[in-house]
Amino acid sequence: MTERVGLGHPDADGRWLGLARHQAGLAITGAFLGVEGIVHRSGWWLAVGMAAAALATPLGGRSQGARASDVARFAARRRVVHVSVVRLAPDALVTATGAATCAPFVLRHHGRLDLTGADGVVTGAVVDALREASEDPRSRHVSVHTEPGVGTLLAARAGSDVPPGWDRDVDALEAACGVGPGRDGVWLERWGYLRGTSGVARVWRVDDLTAAAPWSVARLARPGVTVSLHAEALDPARAVRRAERLVHALRTEDAADDRAGRRWRARRRRDLERSREREADLAAGATLVRLGVFVVARATDLADLARRGAQVEARARRLGLGLDRGRGRQGPWLVAQLPGGPGW
């Protein structure tokens, strides 16, 4: 796998002419139905077309259609999340809406996660764990969780040997999952937060790292605030298809802009260059890694959570990180950020 790691504008979701696929579909559908309504003088088709176009309209970085989908899913799903950890010496099974078996290791020091190169123990362990995961089709997921004063947890592939500088520790895994003495792992999902027996919590997802320095997400970690970085080594065939689709989409947007007389934006130029490099790396045998970064703040009450949340968002703005508050998606995101990735 490639050792070159960089975080930038997310490109996991397919886009067409700069729009998410569902936005493009809604816009095309709205335009077609609107024309049909005008041609056939049908107020019904015209109204439906205008509604589809309205759902494609972005608001705060997400379309109205995506927000409507969040509301529908929030209303329909069961909003009680039960997290549990089963010890399977030497590994452990993490269960929520899904299940994942992992090997938990804790770093032999306490403090903030530093992936800028100063902490070679962490970076080396993550790279080695990803390399092992890329060679095992059963489990390709690796995650790192850190909170100052608590420690740094590595959830590696089940059956992994203890990395140098780390200790196997299932108790740390239970603490990261919110289970153990005095904590039952049961959470009730609300629209913008979660409530448990030991307090309240809120989950953010880092959705834009374009203006941030690599690995600056670690600086969001503070006492009571955990940063979780998840990495999944994609299947080689799937990785090649995804890289090819992305390069094709960017080239299509380039051709469309040329025909329309528009100039490229700097971000798209960087995206295309990065995609071509990735395609070359894959051809040379590298592994494509899917990244997800979550931030979890915990507090005793809502007032304390609001203060802590404001501090997290202010710090993210200073670092150039884009945070999605996950309104209506707190339960799924709580599960997604768990060690081992049972929600992936």
Residue 294 counted as domain residue? yes
Of residues 163 and 133, which shows the higher confidence score? 163
Residue 25 counted as domain residue? yes
Let me know whether 226 and 322 are in one domain.
yes
Distance from the first to the final alpha carbon of the chain = 21
Let me know whether 177 and 252 are in one domain.
no
DSSP class of residue 201?
Answer: E
Judged by average pLDDT, the poorest of 217-231, 279-293, 320-334 is: 279-293
**Cα Rg of the chain (Å, integer):** 22
DSSP string, 137-160: TT--EEEEEEETTTEEEEEEETTP
Judged by average pLDDT, the poorest of 202-206, 223-227, 270-274, 281-285 is: 281-285
Q: Do 196 and 304 contact (CB within 8 A), yes or no?
A: no
**Banded pLDDT at 265 (limits 50, 70, 90):** low
Residue 277 counted as domain residue? yes
Mean pLDDT, to the nearest integer, of 250-262? Answer: 58
Let me know whether 175 and 311 are in one domain.
yes
Give the whole-angstrom CA distance, residue 151 versus residue 183: 19
Boundary (domain end) residue, out of 76, 96, 118:
76
Position 52, amino acid: A
Q: Do 152 and 114 contact (CB within 8 A), yes or no?
A: no
Let me know whether 132 and 269 are in one domain.
no
Statement: residue 38 has pLDDT above 90: no
Per-residue pLDDT at 248: 59
Do you find a cis peptide bond into 90, omega within 30 degrees of 0?
A: yes
Let me know whether 212 and 169 are in one domain.
yes
Mean pLDDT, to the nearest integer, of 271-280? Answer: 67
Of residues 28 and 96, which shows the higher confidence score? 96
Let me know whether 314 and 273 are in one domain.
no
Let me know whether 193 and 114 are in one domain.
yes
**Banded pLDDT at 183 (limits 50, 70, 90):** confident
Query: Which residue range forms the structural domain that includes residue 65?
Result: 18-76
**Banded pLDDT at 264 (limits 50, 70, 90):** low
- 330: burial class by Cβ within 10 Å (0-12, 13-18, 19+)? buried
Judged by average pLDDT, the poorest of 72-81, 113-122, 222-231, 249-258 is: 113-122
- 149, 199, 177: which is closest to 303 by C-alpha? 199
Residue 52 counted as domain residue? yes
- 177, 184, 157, 158: which is closest to 228 by C-alpha? 177
Let me know whether 262 and 146 are in one domain.
no
Position 267, amino acid: R
Let me know whether 254 and 215 are in one domain.
no
Model confidence, pTM? 0.77
**Banded pLDDT at 193 (limits 50, 70, 90):** very high
Let me know whether 277 and 292 are in one domain.
no
- 207, 102, 214: which is closest to 154 by C-alpha? 102
152-174 in b/e burial notation, b at 16+ Cβ within 10 A? bbbbbbbebeebeebebbbebbb
Boundary (domain end) residue, out of 30, 61, 76:
76
Of residues 6 and 201, which shows the higher confidence score? 201
**Banded pLDDT at 12 (limits 50, 70, 90):** very low
Residue 306 counted as domain residue? yes
Let me know whether 260 and 155 are in one domain.
no
Mean pLDDT, to the nearest integer, of 183-212? Answer: 88
- 144, 166, 164: which is closest to 155 by C-alpha? 144
Residue 68 counted as domain residue? yes
Let me know whether 147 and 190 are in one domain.
yes
pLDDT, the chain, mean: 77
Listed in sequence order, the residues at least 6 apart from 331 whose beta carbon sits closer than 8 Å to its beta carbon are 77, 79, 81, 187, 189, 194
Q: What domain count does the chain have?
A: 3
Residue 341 counted as domain residue? no
Of residues 99 and 2, which shows the higher confidence score? 99
For the stretch 46-85, pLDDT in tens is: 787 777 677 677 766 677 777 778 888 899 998 999 999 9
DSSP string, 261-311: TPPPPHHHHHHHHHHHHHHHHHHTT---EEEEEEEEEEESSHHHHHHHHHH
